[in-house]
Amino acid sequence: MYGTGILKGLGVTLKHFVDTYIEDLRWLGRKRYGSPEGIAHRASKGSRGIFTVQYPEEKVPLPEEFRFIPFLVYDEGQEGEKILRCTSCGICAKVCPPQCIWIVRTTDPSTGRPIPDPAEYYIDADICMNCGLCAEYCPFDAIKMDHNYELASYKRMVFDKETLAKPAAYYESIRPINATAENAARAAKVAARAGKME
């Protein structure tokens, strides 16, 4: 029968409209807007009706797999020095679909041979499409997708190695499940290698 689709659609709209007020009544008296509990509820699957997030005062919690412009992970040395995990192998630059990664390898001045450490590393953040392929393909867990999406700027955003570098602790804080699994895999590899050498 003609018009049933339209009626179904209107029914869904009406349900959302009514649910919005039912939810508001359920949360009456509680600090709905701005409270972490309220925001978490509105972002959850259990939320009903329509809601507005008062950004930037309110922010919806990000899921672990959320991805924005990549960053380079560094570990801290014994004297607090930043040791980038990147070996400048170039895999990320090769797989990057819009080709927005540019790496210059360090070379040994006496032999001219490459050293596994980037002399320069740039990402053109204006071109990056946040696909995450660089992070997926990096064999050294050296590049990871960030959660910081507040990067709007009037200037061209070409990030160098210093800007891109963030500590492993930061990575662990935004992606705890991934980081735990990767740390365990790395520890297992080291143990296996040590076992072979005995």
Structure tokens at 165: 């570098």
Q: Hey, what amino acid is at 99?
A: Q
CB of 165 to ligand SF4, least distance (A): 11
Q: Measured from the CB atom, is 130 or 148 closer to ligand SF4? A: 130
H or E segment at 164?
helix 161-164
CB of 36 to ligand SF4, least distance (A): 29
Among 51, 74, 88, 168, binds ligand SF4 (CB under 6 A): 88
CB of 5 to ligand SF4, least distance (A): 39
Sites for ligand SF4 among residues 94-153 (CB under 6 A): 96-98, 100-101, 103, 123, 128-134, 138, 140, 142-143
* Separation of alpha carbons 157 and 173, rounded Å: 25
Find the DSSP H helices in 27-68.
Answer: 36-43
Q: Measured from the CB atom, is 100 or 168 closer to ligand SF4? A: 100
Q: Measured from the CB atom, is 9 or 97 closer to ligand SF4? A: 97
* Separation of alpha carbons 130 and 149, rounded Å: 11
Among 91, 168, 174, 179, binds ligand SF4 (CB under 6 A): 91
Q: Residue 79: is it exposed, middle or buried by C-beta count within 10 angstroms (0-12/13-18/19+)?
A: exposed
Q: What single DSSP character describes residue 62?
A: P
Q: What single DSSP character describes residue 126?
A: T
CB of 67 to ligand SF4, least distance (A): 7
CB of 167 to ligand SF4, least distance (A): 16
For residues 90 and 143, the answer to whether their CB atoms sit within 8 Å is no
The residues of the shown chain that bind ligand SF4, judged by CB under 6 A, are: 70, 86-92, 96-98, 100-101, 103, 123, 128-134, 138, 140, 142-143
